[in-house]
Amino acid sequence: DAGVTQSPTHLIKTRGQQVTLRCSPKSGHDTVSWYQQALGQGPQFIFQYYEEEERQRGNFPDRFSGHQFPNYSSELNVNALLLGDSALYLCASSLRGLILYEQYFGPGTRLTVT
């Protein structure tokens, strides 16, 4: 049973550029959440997708956007990159409707903005 997968593993971008990160949820899961983990910090919630719609959003600017596809996979897009966007981006999947909010995390994509 494949867990949560993310691609790419590492990414280096320049300020002002745009980036797209990808996530495939654990088999059987239908909800995807994205988190940003800056160096030395805990993960911060960006947003959550279910049924191809953004359901919840954390305190992140509109430069951060996402998408969920019919197969439940998801993308995170960040426009006009800033140095402060350098972080580990974690994708977590869960099964909506199942109590406990148990989220399974992927290995993350490490984004470096120069």
Partner 1 sequence: AQSVTQLGSHVSVSEGALVLLRCNYSSSVPPYLFWYVQYPNQGLQLLLKYTSAATLVKGINGFEAEFKKSETSFHLTKPSAHMSDAAEYFCAVGTGTASKLTFGTGTRLQVTL
Applying CB under 8 A, the span of 21-29, 69-77, 79-87, 94-102 interacting with partner 1 comes to 94-102
Question: DSSP characters for 34-102?
Answer: EEEE-TTS--EEEEEEETTEEEEE-S--TTEEEEE-TTS-EEEEE-S--GGG-EEEEEEEE-TT-TT--
Return the residue of 11, 45, 73, 75 that touches partner 1, per CB under 8 A.
Answer: 45
> Of the candidates 69, 19, 61, 27, which has an alpha carbon nearest to the alpha carbon of residue 44?
61
Q: Among residues 23, 43, 72, 85, which is the contact residue for partner 1, using CB under 8 A?
A: 43
Q: What is the C-alpha to C-alpha distance for residues 76 and 49, in angstroms, rounded to an integer? A: 11
Binding to partner 1 by residue 4, rule CB under 8 A?
Answer: yes
Decide if residue 108 touches partner 1 (CB under 8 A): yes
Q: Which of 33, 68, 74, 93 binds partner 1 (CB under 8 A)?
A: 33
Choices 13-21, 27-35, 60-68, 71-79 (CB under 8 A): range interacting with partner 1? 27-35
Tell me whether residue 2 or residue 100 sits nearer to partner 1 (CB atom).
100
